[in-house]
Amino acid sequence: MVLPDYLPLVPLPASVTVGVGQLPLSPEVRVSGDSPAVAQLIDAVERRSGIRLLRSAESAGEIALRIDAAVAGPAGYTLSIAEGVEIVGADEAGLFYGVQTMLQLLREDTQGWALLRAEIADEPRFGRRGVMLDVARHFFGVAEVKRLIDSVSALKFNHLHLHLTDDQGWRIEIDSWPRLTELASTTAALGDAGGFYTKDDYREIVAHAAARHMIVIPEVDLPGHTHAVGVAYPELVEVPVMNEALIADARRLGQDLPVAGEPYLGWGVGHSSVRIHEERTYEFVRDVVRELAEMTPGPYLHIGGDESLGTPQADFDLFVERATAIVFDEGKTPVAWHEVGAAAGIAEGTVGQYWGKRHPEGSHAAEATHFVERGGALIMSAADAAYLDMKYTTDFGLGLTWAGTIDVRAAYEWEPTSVLDVPDTAILGIEAPLWSETTRTWNDVEQLVFPRAAALAEVAWSPRRGSGREWESFRVRLGALAPVWNAQSIDFHPAPEIPWTER
């Protein structure tokens, strides 16, 4: 593959042949095809350039979109830009991703708007390419979540994990337990305003994601991270258990310690747990899982399981074994943070999410690999490479540093299959989580997500090796995304190691 550094494509396609010159665009150009991607292409070109392309009722236009399963594997596509444009998707997802690649090749110069000529054949390395948004520590509304879906699906991410509950707030309407949103959703970390999604709000997010070939994974974090549950239903939750790290962090940050039955505004973790030996707790879990499953068409439901520091191990094991079974009973595949792998009897087929470091510490590797031993698989979210809430540098104004600092290069230069001793086939893909302790505005979110999400998109989508799949090529290609992001008003961090361009 011949790939000059200037070709502005992120993530890097599997195969690229660079053409000569450009294909001019004008309002007379017709777009043909019967896919929803046709309207998405026309709308996107207009937003970027002001040019409204024509939709052709004929079988062929200057830009033609069609489906042919023979061109690539699932979600793959071919893109040809020569005297016209042809995008052929292996399926609807592939056609959508082919459109996203074409849009990155749309450029303006002194002659006007044009497409860079190229021949591309492409398909993803990993089927699972996700981002996570924590709406519990700080709440973000439907419009903001949809904005995130738009911007990350353009980078070919296809899963959105919503962290809907935590100590600081409960963010999803549950009809059978109404006080969760009446009492436990009103505040957020640092005393900021809370909020929650009605069921119609949630369905709107799910539908918007589906139109962009993204699956929504809802998370209700259990049995820890449940202080907010106790604000609404104190009979379900134990008295907070203090630990040395919690007390030290509260003192360092000037934050109050958690008090049973009162909203918690701090950041500390490990102090909360549901009452594991009360059957009423499992009635609660089953009701919540059932209502979430009913409005979630995707196959997954995340039950959390991290940082239950105040829960005895035997109690923790009992709970997660029952909770994973409940999720399967409701027709979904459970996903859980890697600590859940400590339980011998987790439901077979449960998917683990590894959030330890690239070089595993303590029992993290053993806990994660147990999911594979139980017939499940793994999502890789190495905290020192994929956590979008870590600071870029120690003096950056947003984010945390407990896993270190992650500049763009660190987010790019890691290999998900090299972290744990499991078969490569056991790795479903990666997820980039954004925890929201420090993100009080949407601009804060975008500063932490972009540009590192682009680096992680390439890790998830592109071949592990090949011409152009290295830092020096990536940093130049990434820099050429600046005009695309500026046109979308994405408030990305202009990392100094990237040569950002204006056109």
Q: Which of the residues are catalytic?
A: 307
- Which of 408, 398, 418 has its CA nearest to residue 451? 408
- The sign of the dihedral angle between the CA atoms of 102, 103, 107, 111 is positive
Pairing of strands 128-134, 159-163: parallel
- The sign of the dihedral angle between the CA atoms of 399, 403, 409, 413 is negative
User: What long-range pairs does 180-183 form, CB within 8 A, spacing at least 24?
Assistant: 180/228, 180/229, 180/232, 180/233, 182/232, 183/231, 183/232
Integer Cα distance of 65 and 444 in angstroms:
37
User: What are the backbone dihedrals phi and psi of residue 63, each rounded to the nearest 5 degrees, phi first?
Assistant: -120, 115
Helix axes 142-153, 442-449, angle to 10 degrees: 20
The amino acid that residue 293 corresponds to is A
User: What are the backbone dihedrals phi and psi of residue 279, each rounded to the nearest 5 degrees, phi first?
Assistant: -60, -25
Buried b (16+ CB within 10 A) or exposed e, 211-250: ebbbbbbbbbbbbbbbbbbbbbbeebbbebbbeeebeebb
Buried b (16+ CB within 10 A) or exposed e, 20-30: eebbebeeebb
Q: How many CA atoms lie within 13 A of 31 on its CB side?
A: 24
If you search the block for the tokens 């991703």, which residue do you land on? 97
DSSP state of 486: H
Per the DSSP assignment, residues forming a β-bridge with 193 are 187
Tokens describing residue 309: 């520091």
If you search the block for the tokens 């594997």, which residue do you land on? 73
DSSP assignment of 299-356 equals: SEEEEE----TTS-HHHHHHHHHHHHHHHHHTT-EEEEEGGGGGSTTPPTTPEEEE-S
DSSP state of 136: S
Q: List the alpha helices (DSSP H) in 72-163.
A: 92-104, 142-153
